[in-house]
Amino acid sequence: MSDLQAITETLITGDGDKLQELVKEALAAGTPANQILQKGLIVGMDIVGEKMESGDMFIPEVLMAAQAMSISVEILKPLLAEGEAASAGKVIIGTVKGDLHDIGKNLVVMMMESAGFEVIDLGVDVDPAKFVEAIRENKPSIVGLSALLTTTMPMMKKSIESIEESGLRDSLKIIVGGAPVNQAFADEVGADGYAPDAGSASKMAKAMHA
The whole-angstrom separation of Cα 28 and Cα 25 is: 5
Reduced to 3 states (helix: H, G, I; strand: E, B; else coil), residue 145 is strand
pLDDT (0 to 100) of residue 7:
96
Is residue 132 within 8 A of residue 168, CB to CB? The reply is yes
Within the chain, all domains assigned CATH 1.10.1240.10 are found at: 3-79
Edge-to-edge strand list for the sheet holding 142-146: 117-121, 89-95, 142-146, 173-177, 193-194
pTM of the model: 0.79
Residue 84 pLDDT class (50, 70, 90 cuts): low
The whole-angstrom separation of Cα 90 and Cα 84 is: 16
Helices (H), the chain: 3-13, 16-28, 33-35, 43-53, 59-76, 103-114, 128-138, 153-165, 183-189, 198-209
User: pLDDT digits over 3-29, tens only?
Assistant: 999 999 999 999 999 999 999 999 999
Reduced to 3 states (helix: H, G, I; strand: E, B; else coil), residue 103 is helix
Q: Is pLDDT above 70 for 82? A: no
Q: Is pLDDT above 70 for 151? A: yes
**Domain 89-209: CATH superfamily, name plus number:** Cobalamin-binding domain (3.40.50.280)
Q: Is pLDDT above 60 for 83? A: no
Residue 70 pLDDT class (50, 70, 90 cuts): confident
User: pLDDT digits over 100-121, tens only?
Assistant: 998 889 889 988 888 889 999 9
pLDDT (0 to 100) of residue 85:
53
What is the number of other CB atoms lying within 10 angstroms of the CB of residue 29?
8
pLDDT (0 to 100) of residue 143:
98
pLDDT (0 to 100) of residue 113:
86
Mean pLDDT of the chain: 91
73 — phi, psi (to 5°)?
A: -65, -35
User: pLDDT digits over 154-205, tens only?
Assistant: 999 999 999 999 999 999 999 999 989 999 999 999 999 999 988 889 889 9
The full length of the chain comes to 210
**Domain 3-79: CATH superfamily, name plus number:** Methionine synthase domain (1.10.1240.10)
Within the chain, all domains assigned CATH 3.40.50.280 are found at: 89-209
pLDDT (0 to 100) of residue 173:
97
CA 112 to the chain's CA centroid: 2
Q: Is pLDDT above 80 for 1? A: no
